[in-house]
């Protein structure tokens, strides 16, 4: 049985709690981004650039026959790529109802909200909004 987004978010919070200082947490975030599967070529164009992000963020989704949503994303900035990886890890492959029932509070629980620049916070909010909009659309 697949994990629900809340369980995945809790795993992420647990992972980040192992690191005592922020340089280690940032490195873990960057490592998450490096492990993110590559963006399919068909989404690597201006139609999929997410508005509201300072760095370039490509963001797309597909809905399968069962109604689950797969998200794809990539960024030209290492920390933002890590944020994309965390969000995709929680929300990709989930049903619209599970997506909508899971907020992004795990970002605050790991302390990222206090350690991101204002522009990165805006970009993060834009990504979360895009995820929820895709889920709303798929309902």
Task: Return the active site residues.
Answer: 53
Contacts of 7 (CB under 8 A, 6+ apart): none
DSSP-derived secondary structure for 18-78: T--SHHHHHHHHHHHHHTSPPPPGGG-SGGGBPTT-SS-EEEEEEE-TTS-EEEEEEESSH
Longest dimension (CA), the chain: 43
User: In whole angstroms, what is the distance from residue 2 CA to residue 13 CA?
Assistant: 19
């Amino acid at each position: 049985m697949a994990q629900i987004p809340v369980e995945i978010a809790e795993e992420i919070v647990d992972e980040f709690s192992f690191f005592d200082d922020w340089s280690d947490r940032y490195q873990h975030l960057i490592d998450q981004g490096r492990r993110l599967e590559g963006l399919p070529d068909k989404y690597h164009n201006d139609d999929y650039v997410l508005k509201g992000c300072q760095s370039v963020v490509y963001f797309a989704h597909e809905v399968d026959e069962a109604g689950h949503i797969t998200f794809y994303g990539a960024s030209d900035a290492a920390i933002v790529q890590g944020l994309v990886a965390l969000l995709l890890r929680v929300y990709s492959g989930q049903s619209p109802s599970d997506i909508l029932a899971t907020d992004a509070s795990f970002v605050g629980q790991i302390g990222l909200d206090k350690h991101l620049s204002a522009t990165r916070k805006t970009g993060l909010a834009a990504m979360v909004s895009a995820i929820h909009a895709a889920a709303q659309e798929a309902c």
